[in-house]
Amino acid sequence: MNILAISGSPRPARNTASLMKLVIEAAKTHVSDVDAMWCNLNDMTYSGCQSCLACKEPTAKSCVRKDALAFVLDVMLASQAWVIGTPVYMGNVSGQLKLLLDRMYGFMGPNRENRLPSGKKVVVAITQGADEECHKELPDQIAALLERRGLEARIIRACNMPVAAPVPEFSQSIKEEAAALGRWLASAL
Ligand SMILES: Cc1cc2nc3c(=O)[nH]c(=O)nc-3n(C[C@H](O)[C@H](O)[C@H](O)COP(=O)(O)O)c2cc1C
């Protein structure tokens, strides 16, 4: 059994990946024999949505484009629990992640029906350099987007994480939030 971990950060072992790992490690303590399958989007070659609308053919199951994201989208369809991570870039998710979110348009069929089987849970781990007053709207925006695709979504956001500084020790409240989200995620496995 696997948790699908999708990182939208170009840095594999820094702020965003560290926050994702807190959630994943917490989930692992609640389920035996579970591991994370990591996809570092930055290591993959893929394009954004081409607006071809081939995904709206009744026989399609998701985006039809055959590049590295096709595999990720297939695993998303098959996995019950996802952890998606992103640094905030210019007030939004990273470009690496935005292209994947656009390609998730294919998870909606021709009659706006959800092609993702229900019961999937996703934790989105957001890190940002600014304090919590900045980008306050982003967590709700991302959660709403994912919930429209039929997912149950929860967000964890770590602030005051400058890009130039070493990865700090996470605060006690972030650790507790990650522990609770790990338990919540594990219940989907
Ligand atoms: C191109 C770029 C744009 C950024 N834009 C923002 C921003 O708009 N708001 C913010 O709070 N932090 C911003 N940051 C800081 C990162 O979001 C933050 O340091 C994040 O934790 C880095 O994650 P990483 O260690 O996984 O790369 C930006 C960093 C970069 C490199």
Where residue 84 sits, what CATH number does that domain have?
A: 3.40.50.360
Is the CB of 168 inside a 6 Å radius of any atom of ligand 1?
Answer: no
Average pLDDT over residues 103-108: 98
Which residues in 12-158 belong to E strands, given as ranges?
A: 35-40, 81-87, 121-127, 152-158
Residue type, 105: Y
Average pLDDT of the chain? 96
Rounded Cα distance between 85 and 126, Å, is: 6
Choosing from 6, 16, 128, 137 the residue with most ligand 1 atoms within 8 A of its CB, the one to mutate for a pocket test is 128
Average pLDDT over residues 171-176: 97
Is the CB of 88 inside a 6 Å radius of any atom of ligand 1?
Answer: yes
Domain extent at residue 52: 2-186
Rounded Cα distance between 125 and 121, Å, is: 13
Average pLDDT over residues 61-86: 97
Number of domains in the chain: 1
Helical (H) or strand (E) element with 5: strand 2-7
**59 backbone dihedrals φ, ψ, rounded to 5°:** -85, -15
- Using only C-alpha atoms, the chain has a radius of gyration, in whole angstroms, of 16
CB 123 within 8 A of CB 156: yes
Q: How confident is the model at residue 168 (pLDDT cuts 50, 70, 90)?
A: confident
pLDDT score at 1:
64
> Closest ligand 1 atom, CA of 134?
11
